[in-house]
Chain A
């Protein structure tokens, strides 16, 4: 972000958030609510030795306890300013130039670590073979030429941030403003690049509403200034392995907020477009931790896992090595852009209804002939948008051999153990510890026929292993993946039987199919 714009954004964020508190009672409530949450965070030890923060909030508390309403307003503004300054990115064009030169080589090297000799002899493979960027990339570029875009990918792994960033670079875009969790900044190398590539810090340990307001307003202000944004609308990595069904509406709604502000300001390019995209792996780096978390508290995923595979460089390296020694593919599929109401957008930047008829989108926000906000209406508009994004996620999910074979084996397990609850089945594996290979082939074949029919209808996408390979080759590819990298194999062939060893992982990978098919 241009340093001048950064200053403008900071001033605007502080003022807008502050303007929400016109009533003195809400000022006092917000002030002490924030102090409570922040002191609690710091005292619980999750502040990482945040001594300055402790002193800051002690001072605010002492002063606030006996201050006038006017002083409360000033103290609240101090907190908002502190939050805003903490959030803001530190984009440096010189670092960006360096990073964009370095990243492709570094990424390629990382993805080719299977043979050090290869690196030395300069025999780097083609990155495009490993990492496929596809889908509506032309429509994405067209949308960006008509307005501001917000890229909203599915989220399975911390690697998503790096891959999405690389895809943005490969597609020829300038860096996107991106809200990255603090854990990404904890890795010094990645944090350095994140910080300088437009990323702003999101500290999910901060629970105060005021902080969330600042985050959202920051994103909205950058959109208004025309900076493309990226965030994961699921809010966190999918724990179950399934494609996201429910999205967080707060940040997603900032696209509409920015659009209305732009219309009110009569900006020449007021439009904001949402671009869903899916990132699809044959193996997921953090699969074991994520599914374990999912099973621990289904539906109540923790937002912060600080000790997963991503925090261990050796695991990351091992993962990448395995992935690419197996000729694995990662697909990033860009969906057709949407307007902030969930309508499709064509290459000319026009919104289209379900029948493909052009829609005058400005009319959605008009009241008495002028653009206006209406909180309840706008929440519903954002819900419509979220539904469209979820539909795009499902349509553009790429299923591959690990998903399909896990689905077939897990289905067999459930059928052979009727009435056994899920947790028991996962723990014990039921009555039989292995599945006859012939049964597996038959089930894979049946599921594949259904998936191919759905893919032909445009309901889902299939990796080439599911479109081109025969059943035996497809199962072999899946087995090669499922027995590698993870601490123990999910599935292993011994003779003419398949042994289900890590059923949690089978559940994780099969959930991708169950969620979309």
Chain B
């Protein structure tokens, strides 16, 4: 059945709007589904999304709606880009109208905290759709909307999903690569937010590049160990969704999690930092979820534990760094299993 829309982007935050803008810029039949009707009106009439992308001019042909139920059945592909906290509710609403010939991809870098389920697993539980994928990579929404070249990864067990997404997104300013490793892509996308908090804290404490490089590299190693234990392909962590995303999020001051970490590193209280931000910093709840899951699996993740101690147990960033540096150092890649 031919559907009037190529793709429906669900979620009018900065990342959802940026993705919809890429598609609109390429002339795709795309609609952005947002939560509030006023926001849809703003996008349709002023071509801006002032709350999430202040100052950015959106493509004239990008249309928005607040009518999710009325839009789902119209799209061949549904791209869900909402915070992990609201993901299940949104997925359930999508599931009311979605059908088996449709494709659902998500671009949410988080884990369901209570269940430790990945977003693709939530989509599987809340919809009847089987052709599911994940889009992830080093993508700062502001740079994307500014038209700077970038790339990302789309992972799915279904070749059709990868093929369709590449066809939709590929253009002069955005490249999409393909993978079958859904688990690795999702774990990398979530885990990097925890490392970004730590990297931000390092910057906030005024420590230098040596320290940050040590932290990021060892963080990548923890990420890969954790992912492989959950069934991921270790090589995914060497790609765009792994090291690629980690680099951008740990270096750029535009990264939300980095911003949170930096302010905590400077001595602000986490609650105050979070209350002052209009965005969701996925790293905060993700840290607790990964920490709990790693303990359940018997994995020792020192950096995750240190970040957890800072944001959930009242330890200062400086105490956490001192403690990390006092632990014995083993073989660098000894704990990684290649499979």
Contact = CB atoms under 8 A, between A and B. Distances in A.
B1 interface: yes
Most buried by B among A354, A362, A369: A354
B101 interface: yes
B130 A341 contact: yes
Interface stretch (B61-69, B91-99, B199-207): B91-99
B268 interface: no
B90 to A, nearest CB: 14
Given A359-B100, A364-B101, A343 B128 contact: yes
B131 A361 contact: no
Nearest to A360: B99
Contact of B2 (A353, A364, A369): A369
B51 interface: no
B160 A355 contact: no
Given A359-B100, A377-B158, A353 B128 contact: yes
B183 to A, nearest CB: 14
With most chain B CB atoms within 10 A of its CB, the pick from A353, A362, A366 is A353
A376 interface: yes
Interface in A430-456: none
A377 B101 CA distance: 11
Given A376-B159, A376-B160, A377-B160, A360 B100 contact: yes
A327 interface: no
Nearest to B1: A369
A355 B122 CA distance: 12
A375 B109 CA distance: 31
Contacts of A351: 128
A380 B100 contact: no
Given A354-B125, A354-B126, A357-B95, A377 B100 contact: no
B160 A374 contact: yes
Nearest to A358: B128
A384 B92 contact: no
Nearest to A367: B101
A363 interface: yes
A381 interface: yes
Nearest to B159: A376
A383 interface: yes
B158 A376 contact: yes
A384 B127 CA distance: 14
A374 B124 CA distance: 21
A356 B128 CA distance: 10
Contacts of B130: 341, 364, 380-381, 384
Contact of B128 (A357, A369, A376, A381): A357
Interface in A111-132: none
B159 A341 contact: no
B101 A366 contact: yes
Query: What size tier do the contact residues of chain A reach?
Result: 20 to 34
Contacts of A376: 158-160
A341 B100 contact: yes
Contacts of B131: 377
Interface in A200-216: none
A376 B159 CA distance: 7
Contact of B95 (A355, A361, A363): A355
A355 B159 contact: no
Interface in B229-265: none
Interface in B294-316: none
Interface string B105-128: 000000000000000000011111
B100 A363 contact: yes
Given A354-B125, A364-B101, A369-B1, A380 B92 contact: no
Given A354-B126, A355-B126, A364-B130, A380 B95 contact: no
Contacts of B124: 354
Nearest to A366: B101
Interface in B1-32: 1-2
Contacts of A374: 160
B284 to A, nearest CB: 29
B36 interface: no
Given A377-B160, A380-B157, A384-B130, A353 B95 contact: yes
Contacts of B157: 380, 383
A355 B92 contact: yes
B101 A363 contact: yes
Q: Which of B1, B125, B128, B159 has the most CB of A within 10 A?
A: B128
Interface in B129-169: 130-131, 157-160
Contacts of A361: 100
Nearest to A375: B159
Interface in A380-405: 380-381, 383-384
Contacts of B159: 376-377
A361 B159 CA distance: 20
B52 to A, nearest CB: 30
A338 to B, nearest CB: 13
B224 to A, nearest CB: 25
**Most interface-central of B1, B125, B130 (chain A CB within 10 A):** B130
Contacts of B2: 368-369
Nearest to A381: B130
Contacts of B126: 354-355
Nearest to A359: B128
A378 to B, nearest CB: 10
A201 B19 CA distance: 56
Interface string A325-365: 00000000000000001010000000101110101111110
27 contacts: A341-B100, A341-B130, A343-B128, A351-B128, A353-B128, A354-B125, A355-B92, A355-B126, A359-B100, A359-B128, A360-B99, A360-B100, A362-B100, A363-B99, A364-B100, A364-B101, A364-B130, A366-B100, A369-B2, A376-B158, A376-B159, A377-B131, A377-B158, A377-B159, A380-B130, A383-B157, A384-B130
Interface of B: 1-2, 92, 95-96, 99-101, 124-128, 130-131, 157-160
List of 6 A-B pairs having minimum Cβ-Cβ separation, nearest first: A364-B100, A363-B100, A353-B128, A359-B128, A363-B101, A363-B99
Given A357-B128, A363-B100, 5 more contacts: A354-B125, A359-B99, A364-B130, A377-B159, A380-B158
